[in-house]
Structure 1
Amino acid sequence: MAKVFGRRLILLAAGRTADGGGGFRRGWDARGGLWAEVRMRSGGLAHDEFGRAPRLRLRITTHGLPVGHPMRPAPGDRLQDGARLFEVEAVHDGERRHLVILASEVPDGEGAR
């Protein structure tokens, strides 16, 4: 069955920006866009310091990219879909034509760019 890559996600990588006082601040740098198919993997409630928060896990499929390519997602990167952010947990390229990305949604308040 053919994959339908109907969602454009922005790949964000952790970066450092000068804070103007001689130090640095962590931020997220956009590397570019990826067309992908996004499917829900699981969902539930996770416990955090404020009680229980919804947790959504996703399976994202995109075109295959070789290891070392600057547009290939890696664990720790983020994918942005409008106002939603997903943290990349793992990347698998078993089919070679496609990358399978396992990700979880970043809760509100943790996604500042």
Structure 2
Amino acid sequence: MTVPLVVESSARLPDGMGGFRQSWQEVGRIWAEMRSGAGGERVAALGTQSVVTWRITVRAAPAGDTRRPRPGQRLRLGEGAQARRFRIDAVAESDPGGRWLVCIAQEEIPA
């Protein structure tokens, strides 16, 4: 586990005009091992995007702990404009003892 990641959850915040905007808030910090998987391309609202699937292994945290990743959250590597973000699609225990979790995540990179 050599890669430091930040676990982020989505939050709806009032936009001051009666609506809401999506914001991401840090809920924990973890260490991980990352392995890239299959990649592809898709058409998005702003053009073509390269999409890479990642297999991210982390030490398990107890259920309910904010450091335990869940689908719908994302993991951030780095800070600021240079940060990379990985949307978590699925999480599963990787061993019978439940000591490790595997997150299947997608990194989206504008082409």
Establish whether TM, by shorter chain, passes 0.5.
yes
Count the aligned residue pairs: 104
Determine which structure has the larger strand proportion and give its number: 2
Aligned counterpart, 1:59: 55
Aligned residue in 1 for 2:85: 85
Q: How big is the shift at 1:37?
A: 0.5
Distance in 2 (CA, whole Å) between partners of 1:10 and 1:51 is 28
Equivalent of 2:22 in 26, 35, 60: 26
Query: What is aligned with 1:15?
Result: 11
Could you list the structure 1 runs, at least 4 aligned residues long, displaced by more than 6 angstroms after superposition: none
1:38 aligns with 2:38: no
Separation of aligned partners in 2, 1:76 and 1:46:
20
1:111 aligned residue: none
Provide closer, same or farther for how the CA distance between residues 46 and 23 of structure 1 changes in structure 2, counting only shifts above 3 A.
Answer: closer
TM-score, normalised relative to structure 2? 0.81
Shift in Å, 1:105: 0.5
**Equivalent in the alignment of 1:100:** 102
Helix, strand or coil at the partner of 2:54: strand
**Counterpart position of 2:67:** 71
Query: TM-score, structure 1 length as denominator?
Result: 0.80
The DSSP-based 3-state class of the residue aligned with 1:68 is coil
Aligned partners of 2:92, 2:104: CA distance in 1, in Å?
8
1:15 Cα deviation after fit:
0.8
Post-superposition shift, 1:17? 2.1
Three-state SS of the structure 1 residue aligned to 2:11 is: strand
Q: What percent of counterpart residues are identical?
A: 38
Q: For 1:83-107, what per-residue CA distance to the aligned partner results, in whole angstroms no more than 9, with x for missing partners?
A: 1110000000131111100000133
Q: What are the superposed Cα offsets for residues 31-82 of structure 1, whole Å, 9 maximum, x if unpaired?
A: 1211000110211222435664211110000101122222111111010112
